Structure 1
Amino acid sequence: MSAADFPEQLKALDATLRNIENVLDVDKLRRDRAVLEEQASAPDLWDDQARAQEVNSRLSYLTGEIHRMEKLRQRIDDAELLLEMAQDADDEGSIAEVGDELVSLTKAVEEMEVRTLLSGEYDSREAVVAIRAGAGGVDAADFAEMLMRMYLRWAERHGYPTEVYETSYAEEAGLKSATFAVKVPYAYGTLSVESGTHRLVRISPFDNQGRRQTSFAGVEVMPVVEQTDHIDIPDNELRVDVYRSSGPGGQSVNTTDSAVRLTHIPTGIVVTCQNEKSQLQNKASAMRVLQARLLERKRQEEEAKMAGLKQDTTGSWGDQMRSYVLHPYQMVKDLRTEQETGNPSSVFDGELDEFIEAGIRWRKQTQIAAG
């Protein structure tokens, strides 16, 4: 892109950002923020801790989104002014600086544009993420733990709060399964493209002959249930088992029957939670996860019905969607979008945005193509 193209490029970015502001309705976001600020300042807010956390989480999210858009708007305005001044003064250094800023601005606007593609019924919800080791023995359990850390690091990088509900440790290393929540609006719409089977190829650190091992882990992403969802679970459809927690934890976690296993009898869905000290807390967390699973099952059934398809929603992890290769070369590649990188360590450290954004765009294109 030559300097002569800079004015048109800035004009295009300005138009794209205006469209994003219209789709996301920034004025409404500001009004919603004002209402939440008033609620957050109420003296009795913390009488209901769950409600207080919900208000503060939503307020923090809206403030961050508004700030991101206002900052982008300011950067575009500043770039336009700098370009005009640089051209008047024939300042090649400043013109080159505008070119660098245009590259950065284009990426930032594209990232914000992805949010406009999250228009599904549950996309604005928080998310519950479940990870389960698949084929591959101890390597698969280790891979499941790597994936859990990857998603938690991704959330941490963005400042998104998380809550771990369950971690079931494998005997030798890694995790048999884990469940956690990402407590920020649009977490479900954003992370739902991560659902499916993930594949790892590497020299096994658990094989004393140093052989290459292929292992698998499943990721399931579910929307958090809200009061309007009407996910009713009659007592006679639910079996509750309590048992002693295992794995790392404080003394009271490991020496009392605080862990809870819920079995939904009609579907056979089983949910466990053992990370809290209290049996009541674990049961409440397990119930939230079970309701999320049932809501996601309902969503899949409705989607399949509308598409005239039959699909197994009882326990399928979906098709293989991403490969992480550490040997004989280094690469992470998404098999749906063709998005790839030669730096697996950065991906495992939570640098997932390019894969997630490509997945969201791919999903939208697939939906449009399907009519």
Structure 2
Amino acid sequence: MRPEISSDLDALDATLTTIEKVMDPEEMAARVRELEAQAADPSLWDDPDHAQKVTSELSSVQGRLRKLSDLRQRLSDLPVMYELAEEEEGGEELAEEERADLRAEIEALEVKTMLSGDYDPREALINIRSGAGGVDAADWAEMLMRMYTRWAEKHGHKVDVYDISYAEEAGIKSATFVVHGDYMYGQLSVEQGAHRLVRISPFDNQGRRQTSFAEVEVLPVVEQTDHIDVPDNDVRVDVYRSSGPGGQSVNTTDSAVRLTHIPTGIVVTCQNEKSQIQNKASAMRVLQAKLLEKKRLEERAEMDALGAGGHASWGNQMRSYVLHPYQMVKDLRTNFEVNDPSKVLDGEIDGFLESGVRWRMAQQQEAEG
């Protein structure tokens, strides 16, 4: 085995060892045994909400433990693969592919160990709003929504759409949806900010280049322990008929719900559930998430990176997507860039997420001195 390969394997081993120290597989195994005991208790489902939390955590911890064990086993097998590669045609190419895949997975797991914020383990509530750029901006907002839903699908995370406000000509004015799964907020929160698109406008008869913006807001999903008190007197509830883009069937009853939080002026809508009661419950969850974010920002005003609700324009752009006159997607904070926008827009954003988390960690360490 060549010295450079041996050196790379040693580096991967050191990184994985550090990850194991942080994740503590022995502690995770003990937690699995504890949760398995709870899951085996026949009375567990007397409280369905608690039972759901137990089974969900059990599945999550078991998955992380299996992942860690699998990476360690694959890393142990790699030297053997390289030894056998000398005797088999095409063997070295397979070993190289496995080393590259293993490096990517170890680095991705290393990034997850950096997600230590209070809200990082939670699911993510994402709001996308079209900004400057007219119809192109509305189309761009819809493209971003597809990018995130495609990323979630590729990673096996369920997405629930709470509300979409369609633009008149094309695209969307805004959308609100939840990405379910552990540490979704921790990973996706680095996407917050203004996203800028430069392309030849498909809506311009003269084929001119257009710059448009969309704002992405990422919030942690509220849990029962957050104690976000929303008195009924503070909320105005309006109901109206759901709507959609031209040609698609829409509800014929007033099932859509708009909540207005009177003290703050925050407005939330939900129209994607079948009943008014379901829409009101979903809208309340979004409102609580926004109020939680507001409370958190007031308590930690110095941490601007956790803020939300900016303006989609030149001033606070965090990523630039250029489709013309050249092809590039570049994060303006981390300088991470990709020269194939089509793949990025199809959901391949892991590189941006990982570099964003590392950048945020470096910023926090610098702030702490």
1:275-334, Cα deviation, whole Å (9 max, x unpaired): 0011110011011111111112222222224x6x8x996732582101111111111111
Counterpart contact for 2:218–2:308, Cα < 8 Å: no
Contact map agreement 2:165 2:173 (CA 8 A) in 1? yes
Change (3 A) 1:72 1:202: same
Q: CA deviation at 1:22?
A: 1.8
TM-score by length of 2: 0.89
> How far does the alpha carbon of each residue in 1:66-116 deviate from its partner, in whole angstroms, 9 at most, with x for none?
232222111111113344x559x8889756654443333222211110011
Matched, 1:144 2:138: no
Q: Secondary structure at the match of 1:216?
A: strand
Q: Cα 1:25–1:143, aligned 2, differ >3 Å: closer, same or farther? A: same
Give the letter for the 2:188 counterpart.
L
**Matching of residue 11 in structure 1 with residue 10 in structure 2:** yes
Q: Find the partner of 1:340 among 319, 337, 340.
A: 337
Structure 2, gaps ≥5 residues long: none
Residue 258 of structure 1: how far off its partner (Å): 0.6
For normalisation by structure 1, the TM-score amounts to: 0.89
What amino acid sits opposite 2:73 in the alignment?
Q
The one-letter amino acid of 1:234's match is P
Q: Displacement, 1:247?
A: 0.2
Shift in Å at residue 205 of structure 1?
1.1
Given the superposition, is the C-alpha separation of residues 247 and 162 from structure 1 closer, same or farther in structure 2, using an over 3 Å criterion? same
Partners of 1:77 and 1:314 in 2: CA distance? 44
- Map residues 222-301 of structure 1 onto 2, 5 A cutoff: 222-247=219-244, 254-301=251-298
Opposite residue 27 of structure 1, the aligned amino acid is E
- What SS is found at the alignment partner of 2:259? strand
- 2:193 corresponds, among 187, 192, 196, to 196
**How do residues 71-90 of structure 1 correspond to structure 2 at under 5 angstroms?**
71-83=70-82, 85=83
C-alpha distance 144-93 of structure 1, shift in aligned 2 (>3 A): closer
Counterpart contact for 1:269–1:314, Cα < 8 Å: no
Q: Report deviation, 1:8.
A: 3.3
CA contact (8 A) 1:58 1:185 kept: no
CA contact (8 A) 2:131 2:311 kept: no
Q: Report percent identity of matched pairs.
A: 62
SS of residue paired to 1:263: strand
Q: Is the contact between residue 3 and residue 95 of structure 1 (CA under 8 Å) also seen in structure 2?
A: no
Q: Is this contact kept in 2: 1:3–1:99, CA < 8 A?
A: no
Residue of structure 2 equivalent to 1:131: 128
State how far apart, in whole Å, the 1-side matches of 2:118 and 2:262 are.
27
* Structure 1 unaligned spans of 5+: none
The alignment status of 1:327 with 2:324, answered yes or no, reads yes
Equivalent of 1:215 in 208, 212, 222: 212
Do the aligned partners of 1:332 and 1:341 also contact (CA within 8 Å) in 2? yes
Does structure 2 retain, via aligned residues, the 8 Å contact 1:240–1:261?
Answer: yes
What SS is found at the alignment partner of 2:310?
A: coil
User: Please, which moves more after superposition, 33-42 or 99-108?
Assistant: 33-42
Distance 1:77 1:314, change over 3 A: closer
Deviates more, 1:29-38 or 1:167-176: 29-38
Structure 2 SS opposite 1:336 = coil
Determine which of 172, 180, 185 is the counterpart of 1:183. 180
For 2:292 and 2:20, the matched residues in 1 are separated by 31
What letter is aligned with 1:80?
P
Question: Which is further off, 278-287 or 32-41?
Answer: 32-41
| Distance in 2 (alpha carbons) for counterparts of 1:284 and 1:51 | 19
Q: CA RMSD in A?
A: 2.8
Distance 1:285 1:211, change over 3 A: same
SS of alignment partner, residue 304 of structure 1: coil
Residue type at the aligned position of 1:316: G
- Looking at structure 1, the residues matched to 338 and 168 of structure 2 have their Cα atoms a distance apart, in angstroms, of 33
The one-letter amino acid paired with 1:321 is M
Find the residue that maps to 2:300 and give its secondary structure.
helix
Deviation at 1:7, TM superposition (A): 3.0
Give the 3 Å change call, closer, same or farther, for CA 50–139 of structure 1 in structure 2. farther
Q: CA 1:42 to 1:163, structure 2 compared with 1: closer, same or farther past 3 Å?
A: farther
Farther-moved stretch of structure 1 (38-47 vs 97-106):
38-47
Aligned pair in 2 of structure 1 residues 210, 298: CA closer, same or farther (>3 Å)? Answer: same
C-alpha distance 313-9 of structure 1, shift in aligned 2 (>3 A): closer
C-alpha separation in 1, matches of 2:309 and 2:76 = 51
Query: Which one-letter code corresponds to 2:60 in the other structure?
Result: Y
The amino acid of 2:200's aligned partner reads: I
Q: Does 1:315 align with 2:309?
A: yes
* Deviations 1:39-89, CA, capped at 9 Å, x for gaps: 556667777665565555444433432232222111111113344x559x8
